[in-house]
Chains A and B, each alone.
Chain A
Amino acid sequence: MSPVLAGVLQFLALLAALALAYRPLGDYMARVYCSSRHLWVEKWIYRAVGADPSAEMRWPAYLRGVLAFSLAGVLFLYLLQRVQGVLPGSPGFAPIDPDQAFNTAASFVTNTNWQSYAGEQAMGRLVQTCGLAVQNFVSAAVGMAVAVALVRGFAARPGTRGCARTGEAPSHTGPLGNFWADLVRGVVRILIPLSVLGALVLVACGALQNFSGLHEVGQFGGGVQQWHGGAVASQEAIKELGTNGGGYYNANSAHPYENPNGLSNLFEIFLILLIPFALTRTFGRMTGSVRQGYAILAAMATIWTVFTALMMWTEFAHHGPAFEAAGGATEGKETRFGIAGSAIFSVATTLTSTGAVNSFHSSYTGLGGGLDLLGMQLGEVAPGGVGSGLYGMLVMAIVAVFLAGLMVGRTPEYLGKKIGTRQIKFAACYFLITPALVLGFTAAAVALPTPGGSTLNPGPHGFSEILYAYTSGANNNGSAFGGLSADTEWFNTTLGIAMMLGRFLPMVFVLALAGSLAGQGPVPQTAGTLRTHKPLFTGLLVGTVMIVTGLTYFPALALGPLAEGLAS
């Protein structure tokens, strides 16, 4: 069997597995967020927090919860790294410098998992397991909570909320649910059970799972070799499932102990895509029309399939002087995954906010690296990060119905809600933030003398390394063109700021949007209403994503990956 055919079959197997999980998981998540029951462990956490999980929150209160919880996470993680030298379980690990500790704290709390350190070298087991891995769960749950709040905004009808229950007096903003309940349920009922299963599958494939610390074994040719043990599989599972991406080891999912064989590779890609795709079903359930969810799903799946096909094509074609001399673009790719297994992973990780890598994007072909960049620049909506993918795509859907409304001269509406000036302003602010951060910081890094000499590769690729870093940071992806020496005060600080603003400013506008939608009564459907569950709308949505976000970056892409790709 040719490697190309094997790659296509692997993609189809992935598609089939995702399709099988779509309905049960999507429906389950809808039940989780609409349930009025509390498990005992959840009640214990609510008591510790001092929160009433049944109290409805309007958007400012919901946002305050998100920000307070995330700020606490940043402070806690920062302190943990600063004192790791004196903590038990981390012998020999030095405290992390202030700028790198800030960068890492911001990185893990924002679901980015950009790493300017080498995993096994810098972070002790206590920081990895009790600090970083915890944020893998909770930052993912925060993303899901915000997405669910937006869905409730769409679903709310006068005097009710998303889950169609008790009445409340109408006002210009409506209740969105309870942040603490959404956070805790996301962790307890969705992420932990799936992670336990996922981790055990990975261990069965060969991933490491112990508390052994530095481990020494003999070697074939005499002498010894050492590796760091630890809770690797358990972190790997949530790292993919929560679209986090921070590796236990420096080589991330290319390391054989994180990703031991072809099957574990396919399974990790499945974990990355599982929740983001299934959330469109949850959205359909909660808004009372699963077909609306299918339309969003179709737009996501279309972009994902096209990107995967393009990536396979350019990597198998292996243009570029060194790859042509070698006879294949295998630099930075593992033998057991091959070109296809690497290409499929690479697209999945950049079209979501994951950023885990099983092969090194800097050594992809020029156009392949460009696809990774563009995937993130689309705003990571196909299918995007857990939660953030859904709310990102719903914001784009609002822009799409607005554009359609402009074409026919009608006031746009979506899911029975009028899309007025206020909603469009929120949506526009949402999608302008990330490009402003990416292009602004990239321009500053290139123009200012400060970070000079930190790129590894010459020419357009060197520029791509910087563009990639800010694209990855501001979009909360976390993957890198790793030749960039990012552990400097300049990059640690500016990337930390880009990650924080790129995560929380969009959330402010999403929640404000959700609040304004929740306060609105439904508009009756007429013959002139755009049918947003039809293929026409899916096509419009794909076009909007490509044009609105893709074109913003075209000049920057032309200077980096396009210049490199077209020259070879």
Chain B
Amino acid sequence: MTHSHHVAARTARQLGAGLRALIALTVLCGVLYPLAVTGIAQAAFPGRANGSQLTDAGGRVVGSELIGQRFDLPKKNPDDPEETPVPDLRWFQPRPSAGLTTHGADPRYALLVSGATHLSGDNEVLLRAVRDAKAAVIEDNTAAGYRPTAADVPAEAVTSSGSGLDPHIPPAYAALQVHRVAERNHLAVAEVRALVEAHTDGRILGFVGEPTVNVLWLNVALKALLGTR
């Protein structure tokens, strides 16, 4: 046998050993491991393992408490993907999600293709988006006897999150929306403020993460409150 034959044979033998090792480890890590974890997870935390679904007062599933939704008015033409959605100002509004609508192959919110904008801080496009969003937030939230200033608008209200699915807003953004939501729903400001406070989560253990308001959870509670009238 020539030297090159010898090398080829040895390479083939080694590759065969590598492939057999891979298959054996695939059984372990690719089949048994996820099965075992899924089994335990489904038994111990079925609600969370299946997506933390949220139901409204009537028992209807309205989404997941972890996945942000839009609260927009119905489209004028539902078949037009280009139509800019208009926020339904009766409900608390989430953060912008520009990454979600421009980066997926499917721009509808229905198929959740998560994503960010990846725009840099010195990009004119982002600067314009921030300025426009800020003006809109001030305009939308102006109610009788209340007009927020630019300094009242938290940064999260005018920037898109990393996933585009951020279910939360900071408490400051919820507070800013209280007057508008009260006015549009003919509720007392104090009543809506109390609702926001009841649905504000502090930092876990007092220092982990940031204080948040879950928008879907808050709107479900708001709807329940309106339903009792």
Q: Is B131 an interface residue (CB 8 A)?
A: yes
By a CB distance below 8 angstroms, the chain B residues around A231 are 34, 37-38
Residue interface bits B59-99, CB-to-A below 8 A is 1, else 0 = 01111101111111000000000000000100100010001
Contact B28 A69 (CB under 8 A): no
A336/B168 in contact, CB under 8 A:
yes
CB distance from A133 to the nearest CB of B (A): 6
A65 to B11, CA, bound (A): 10
Most buried by A among B34, B53, B70: B34
User: Which residues of chain A come closer than 8 Å to B23, judged between CB atoms?
Assistant: 48
Interface-side segment among B41-49, B140-148, B178-186, B189-197: B41-49
Q: Is A432 an interface residue (CB 8 A)?
A: no
* Given contact pairs A221-B88, A251-B162, A134 touches B30 in the complex (Cβ within 8 A): yes
Is the C-beta of A323 less than 8 angstroms from some C-beta in chain B?
Answer: yes
Interface residue? B177 (CB, 8 A): no
Question: Which of A71-79, A300-308, A371-379 sits within the interface?
Answer: A71-79
B72: chain A residues at CB < 8 Å are 221
User: Which residues B89-119 have CB closer than 8 A to chain A?
Assistant: 91, 95, 99, 103-105, 109-119
The reply to whether B37 and A338 contact each other, CB–CB distance below 8 Å, is no
CB–CB B119/A221 < 8 A? no
Contacting pair B163 A327 (CB below 8 A): no
Q: What's the Cα separation between A475 and B33 when bound, in Å?
A: 29
B1-57: which have CB < 8 Å to A? 11, 14-15, 17-26, 28-31, 33-34, 36-38, 40-42, 44-45, 48-53, 56
Report if A37 contacts B (CB, 8 A): no
* Chain A residues whose C-beta falls within 8 Å of the C-beta of B66 in the assembled complex: 206, 256-257, 260
Q: Are A568 and B122 in contact (CB under 8 A)?
A: yes
- A210 & B42 in contact (Cβ 8 Å cutoff): yes
Within 8 A of B (CB), among A210-268: 210-212, 215, 217-221, 223-229, 231, 233-235, 238, 249-251, 254-257, 260-263, 265-266
Question: CA separation between A140 and B219, bound complex, in Å?
Answer: 44
Q: Considering only CB atoms, which chain B residue lies closest to A229 in the complex? A: B51
**How far, in whole Å, are A121 and B158 apart by their CA atoms in the complex?**
27
Q: Decide: A254 near B163, CB < 8 A? Known: A200-B44, A210-B38, A227-B67.
A: yes
Whether A568 and B36, one on each chain, are in contact in the complex, defined by CB atoms closer than 8 angstroms, is: no
User: Could you say which of A24-32, A435-443, A455-463, A520-528 contacts chain B?
Assistant: A455-463
Which residue of the partner chain A has the closest CB to B153?
A327
In residues 107-146 of chain A, which contact B (Cβ within 8 Å)? Answer: 118, 120-121, 129-131, 133-134, 136-138
Question: Are A250's CB and B114's CB within 8 A?
Answer: yes
A325 at the interface (CB under 8 A from B): yes
Contact of B30 among A130, A227, A257, A363 (CB under 8 A): A130
Q: How far is the CB of B130 from chain A (nearest CB, A)?
A: 5
CA distance A249 to B51 in the complex (A): 14
Decide if B212 is an interface residue (CB 8 Å cutoff). yes
A329 within 8 A of B: yes
Structural contact, B134 and A254, CB atoms closer than 8 A: no
Interface residues of A in 1-31 (CB under 8 A from B): 1, 3, 5-6, 9-10, 13
A335 lies within 8 A of B63 (CB): no
A137 to B129, CA, bound (A): 42
| Residue of B with least CB distance to A362 | B118
Contact check, B122 vs A564: say whether CB atoms are below 8 A apart.
yes
B159: Cβ under 8 A from any A Cβ:
yes
| Among A130, A335, A366, residue most surrounded by chain B Cβ atoms (within 10 Å) | A335
| Cα of A50 to Cα of B20 in the assembled complex, Å | 9
The bracket for how many chain A residues form the interface is 35 or more
Residue contact A334 to B166, C-beta cutoff 8 Å: yes
Contact with B along A317-349 (1 / 0, CB 8 A): 011111101111111111111100110000000
On chain B, the residues within 8 Å of A357 by CB distance are 162
A451 at the binding interface (Cβ < 8 Å): no
A182 CB, min distance to chain B CBs, angstroms: 12
Size category of the binding interface on chain B: 35 or more
Residues of A within 8 A of B212 (CB): 335-336
Interface residue? A208 (CB, 8 A)? yes
Partner pick for B210 among A130, A262, A319, A332, CB 8 A cutoff: A262
Is B188 engaged at the interface, CB distance under 8 Å to the other chain? no
Q: A76-B22, A263-B204, A338-B210 are in contact. Are A209 and B120 (CB under 8 A)?
A: no
Residue contact B14 to A65, C-beta cutoff 8 Å: yes
User: What CA separation (Å) do A49 and B13 show in the bound complex?
Assistant: 11
Contact A49 B155 (CB under 8 A): no
Q: Which residue of chain B has the shortest Cβ distance to A481 in the bound complex?
A: B118
- Asked whether, in the complex, the Cβ of B155 is within 8 Å of the Cβ of A328, the reply is yes
Contact flag A200-B48 (CB < 8 Å), given A41-B28, A69-B21: no
Residue in chain A with minimal CB distance to B98: A331
Residues of B within 8 A of A204 (CB): 44-45, 48
Whole-angstrom CA separation of A206 from B67 in the bound complex: 11
**Residues of chain A in range 31-80 having any CB-CB distance to chain B below 8 Å:** 41, 44-45, 48-51, 64-65, 67-73, 75-76
Q: Is B176 an interface residue (CB 8 A)?
A: no
Please tell me if the beta carbons of B119 and A321 are within 8 angstroms of each other in the complex.
Answer: no
The CA-CA distance from A456 to B120 in the complex, in Å, is 9
A192's partner among B29, B56, B114, B130 (CB-CB below 8 A) is B29
Q: Provide the residues of chain A in CB contact with B119, threshold 8 Å.
A: 322, 331, 362-363, 456-457, 483
Residue among B70, B119, B121 with max Cβ neighbours from chain A (10 Å): B121
| Complex CA–CA separation, A30 to B118 (angstroms) | 42
20 examples of A-B residue contacts, CB within 8 angstroms: A13-B208, A48-B23, A65-B14, A69-B17, A121-B105, A203-B44, A209-B37, A210-B41, A215-B51, A217-B53, A217-B63, A220-B69, A221-B70, A225-B109, A231-B37, A332-B116, A335-B161, A364-B121, A482-B116, A568-B121
- 4 residue pairs, one from A and one from B, having the closest CB atoms: A262-B209, A320-B121, A328-B155, A254-B162
B: which residues have CB within 8 A of A?
11, 14-15, 17-26, 28-31, 33-34, 36-38, 40-42, 44-45, 48-53, 56, 60-64, 66-72, 88, 91, 95, 99, 103-105, 109-124, 126-127, 129-131, 134, 151, 153-156, 158-170, 203-210, 212, 216, 219-220, 223
